[in-house]
Structure 1
Amino acid sequence: MAALPTDRLGFLLSFRGELTGARIRAALGVAGLHPRSAMTLMRLAPGAMSQRELAAAMEVDPSQLVGILNDLESAGLAERRRDPADRRRHIVEITETGSRTLQRIDEAVSTAERELFGDLTEAEQVLLRGLLDRVVVDPAAHECE
């Protein structure tokens, strides 16, 4: 007898992930941003960094990041400038408008997360985060261990 979909952990995680993703995308709608753009602003919030460091931190191909940064720059949310010490290097930072936008995003995402995880205690949320960090999404990386 075949297992029920709710008995399959991968299926359950995928289904809940889709619902969670839809909720988070709706929250990001307050700023009209794609999740990758919002994530980029979050990465830039602590301070400026090189474009290469940002691509590595976000785990995206540098060519993908260029498109994201083009959109953020066009919207006035981030800016790139040449590094005076190394003209080949670009420094990226969030603008004041980007910081205000990020604050609105943070409030909307916090509300969505309270709705999504409101039935979990703080300890359960910490446990869930730890368990999700251990889910292997790149089998090739797991084989190298």
Structure 2
Amino acid sequence: MLAGHTSEGLPIWPLHVMLLGLLGVVAGYIGLWFAGQAEIRPTGLTTILMLLPAIVVLPGLWRGHYKTMIWAALVALFYLLISATDAWAVAADRGWHVLIAAASTLAFLAAWWHSIKRRRFLKARNNAAQGMARDMARDPDPDPDPEQASPKPED
């Protein structure tokens, strides 16, 4: 991975935005665990099990792996579903759940943007390779004779 780019040459910042979004989800659930006001809220083992999917995908996002980004996008949708439901159901901790929903939405939108850019990049690369293959089929000798290519005037 190049500095600031994935192995395919795409910018890595969307993956880091996803990483920050999932870290926001983790922070939201830890804040909910310690500072939540509702009578029924996730505690201890429930919070750890809840955060396990987010924690598992963090190293792959940092390295810029595309397959990890796909899984992280699904994890972000999972957290969006849970936090949106809990925000409507538990008025006492609505702020924490809105924070988690906003962070997971940010992570998913970054994944969506990166996926669109990757698809366009791969399509352009495929079209360029097909164009090169067509050119090679027309002219199998890409290196012309140097004497014919650039005739030098005699002095």
| More strand, by proportion | 1
Alignment TM-score, normalising by the size of structure 1? 0.30
Find the structure with the greater CA-based Rg: 2
Alignment TM-score, normalising by the size of structure 2? 0.29
| More helix, by proportion | 2
For CA contacts below 8 A with separation 6 or more, give which structure has more relative contact order: 2
